[in-house]
Amino acid sequence: MVKKIISLAVAAVFALALLTSCSGGGDTTTLYVYNWGEYISDGSEDSLDTNAAFEEYCKTKLGKNVIVNYSTYASNEDLYSKISGGAVSYDVIVPSDYMVARLAAEGLIMKIDPAKNIENYQYIDDNFKGLFYDKNDEYSVPYTYGTVGIIYNTTIVKEDEADIGSWALMWNEKYEGNILQFNNPRDAFGTAHFYQGTSANSENEADWKAAQELLKKQKNVVQGYVMDEVFNKMESSSAAVAPYYAGDFFTMYEENEDLAFFYPKEGTNVFVDAMCVPSNAQNKDLALEYINFMLSEEIAIANAEAICYASPNKLVYENEDYAADMQEIHPDAMDILYNYDMSKMEYFYDLPENIRNLQNDLWEELKIESSVGYTVYIICGVIVLALAAVFIIRAVVKKKKESAM
């Protein structure tokens, strides 16, 4: 009897396991992906949801139940703070070039040898291999690349404005309260360096202090320091001038055709954002599958069209349909993304620690002064209103006393 009960129990367990397997159950793996905001095709506006497509790929092709836990950050410095703190664990991250170099130097990302372990790496253009931030192509796979320029509203900034074509537009007092600035130190200081004619990678402390003085001067005309908030402000015409990434210009232009774009004549930043695997990743093999999937033709084109950044992937930029789709967004899209004077472009390098600390200190000082300035205005306003109220009350009381007499 006991044997029969055991046999029935074993059979029941086996049947349950079989049923679970057939119904797509079983263990589920969560892949943690940390990326820039507005930086993937997510299914909005009839686009392909590439993360959902990866989950389906894992289920049908790999026989694995996978959920992509996708979160975003606003700057490389935010990413670095999270990764270096060690309190969280991600499987795939997408830092910019100089941050890749820093993370690798500090042992915060692992070697993945993409040429050996990622099949679709073969489609990455050779111009994006062996670059300064990963000379031996061990730690990263290029995701997108791009440049920084100035976006402006043609209904506010007229065609005959002399500063169009120059960083000077960002300091023009005629547009006080209509100018936005980057809310991260590397990009914000970059605008000042380029404007004053110094390298954004300068190791001369005097160059950084001079750049801070320019940013201090600019505070008088700046409406606010922003990152993703720039989309709403420029699309709604609540701001007129902003430095931002060329790819994002097209996203804004789709919502507001009064916007235009230029590369400042003094020079600007060119960058590569690359996919990496943190050293404490829990799912390295699945992370490599994810990176490889993002390089496949349909997925890479979907992402490139959704975010409008330039792609280092031959499967994308050699695709005629992709080129046609981008030109529908803006007639000059392919030229803005892929054809520009590289002699006027500068990569951001990972700065020496002393210069990096100086940059951060100068940035904090700039932002604190800005906050203090706003607070002083508010306090002064409150004091004026309070004094006015006291004056009115006294006048009323005096009038009543006079009437009583």
CA dihedral 90, 93, 99, 101 (to 10 degrees): 90
Domain 25-143+278-329, what fold? D-Maltodextrin-Binding Protein; domain 2 (3.40.190)
DSSP H or E stretch at residue 224: strand 222-226
Residues 347/271, Cβ–Cβ less than 8 Å: yes
pLDDT at 259 over 80: yes
Give me the amino acid identity at 159.
Answer: E
Residue 34 CA to chain centroid, in angstroms? 11
CA angle 108, 112, 115 (to 5 degrees): 145
Residues 262/165, Cβ–Cβ less than 8 Å: yes
Pairing between strand 268-275 and 141-153? antiparallel
CA angle 38, 40, 43 (to 5 degrees): 100
pLDDT at 242 over 90: yes
The 10s digit of each residue's pLDDT in 196-208 is: 999 999 999 999 9
Residue matched to tokens 């309260």: 177
Domain 146-271+347-356, what fold? D-Maltodextrin-Binding Protein; domain 2 (3.40.190)
Angle between helical axes of 320-329 and 246-255 (0-180°, round to 10)? 60
| 25-143+278-329 and 146-271+347-356: identical CATH topology | yes
Average pLDDT over the chain reads 90
The 10s digit of each residue's pLDDT in 297-351 is: 999 999 999 999 999 999 999 999 999 999 999 999 999 999 999 899 999 999 9
pTM of the model: 0.80
Round to whole Å and give the CA distance between 90 and 68. Answer: 11
Q: Which residues contact 12 (CB under 8 A, 6 or more apart)?
A: none
Domain boundaries, the chain: 25-143+278-329, 146-271+347-356, 357-405
pLDDT for the residue 307: 95
Residues in the chain: 405
Round to whole Å and give the CA distance between 144 and 338. Answer: 12
Longest dimension (CA), the chain: 112
Round to whole Å and give the CA distance between 336 and 344. Answer: 14
Look up residue 11 and give its two tokens: 């059979």
